[in-house]
Amino acid sequence: MRIGEMLRAAGPVFSFEFFPPKTEQQEQSLYRSIERLRELRPSFVSVTYGTGGSTREKTVDLVRRIKHEIGIEAMAHVTCVGVSRHEIDTVLERLRCYGIENVLALRGDPPRDQKEFVRPADGFGFASELVRFIRERGYLFSLGGACYPEGHIECRDLEQDLEHLKLKVEAGLDFVITQLFFDNADYFSFVERARARGIRVPIIAGIMPITNLAQIQRFTLMCGAKIPEPLKAKLEAVRGNEEAVRSIGIDHATRQCRELLDRGAPGIHFYTLNQSPATRAILERLRN
């Protein structure tokens, strides 16, 4: 089912994001995690898209298996990193042939060995170009994109960042998913500013439960999100106690989700880091 249609139906959507595993053991562990989440009836699962050819193949294969073998609707990420228009078109055609109906169209982050994003030869430099290409090629995917309540790490001017989002939406997006955030005020302020700018598509809230303090500090440094001082103080007070950090993280994310849904967010997208226990605990609380 197309995610755009899900968002027009009654009730919020709940989704989970995974990345392609690197080893066979990790792959089996991932499938077990997704199997365990199936009973929670997620609206869809998304799979990220790497910069290497083999990783991109895993993305395509993983969304195919999730949809047709596990029985959960799947969305494939597609990025502009290191690929030509022809290579992107080849991936899109494979997804179409496998019956995949949903794509998250992203510019993508530069590879670790590059400081800045480099436009590929005969490729794209902006997500808006990728979205327009997919629409012009006639693909019928429900297209999603990314948005940044606290601004993109490469564009801290919030108004300019909103203009970039508007270009993507006008190119043909059906919905957007936010970068992770920990202060709901950032989400609500962003939605208000987006609506004032004429951006009308659903804005799904992206939530990453904190389960490891060092890990989340690395993530926020990379993406430009901030941890509110009261939450940071709680986490610092139990640094080294993994169970206490996890408990605080789950409690905070649960409160975030409840307020977001109570105030009209159309859905929650969980960044799982290929682990299911925290997101499972949160979704079970939300549904009880």
How does pLDDT run across 229-266, given as a tens digit for each residue? Answer: 999 999 999 999 999 999 999 999 999 999 999 999 99
Query: Which residue type occupies 250?
Result: I
Q: Which domain holds residue 11?
A: 3-287
- The answer to whether the CB of 156 falls within 8 A of the CB of 163 is no
Q: Tell me how crowded residue 252 is: count the other CB atoms within 10 A of its CB.
A: 21
Taking only the tens place, the pLDDT of each residue in 195-211 is 999 999 999 999 999 99
Specify the pLDDT at position 208: 96
Phi-psi region at 246: left, alpha or beta (left = phi > 0; alpha = psi -120 to 50): alpha
Q: Tell me how crowded residue 246 is: count the other CB atoms within 10 A of its CB.
A: 19
Calpha distance 89→139 (Å, rounded): 10
When divided into structural domains, the chain yields a total of: 1
35 catalytic, yes or no? Answer: no
- The answer to whether the CB of 274 falls within 8 A of the CB of 33 is yes
Q: Tell me how crowded residue 124 is: count the other CB atoms within 10 A of its CB.
A: 23
Higher-pLDDT residue of 287 and 171 is 171
Taking only the tens place, the pLDDT of each residue in 127-139 is 999 999 999 999 9
List the one residue out of 70, 75, 3 whose CA is nearest residue 38.
Answer: 70
Helices and strands in the chain: count of H runs, count of E runs: 11, 8
- CATH assignment at residue 55: 3.20.20.220
Catalytic residue, chosen from 17, 73, 101, 150, is 17
pLDDT surpasses 70 at 54: no
User: Distances in Å between the alpha carbon of 236 and those of 30, 116, 217, 242, 251?
Assistant: 30, 32, 11, 11, 16
- The answer to whether the CB of 122 falls within 8 A of the CB of 164 is no
Percent of all residues in the chain with a pLDDT value above 90, rounded to a whole number: 78
Specify the pLDDT at position 124: 96
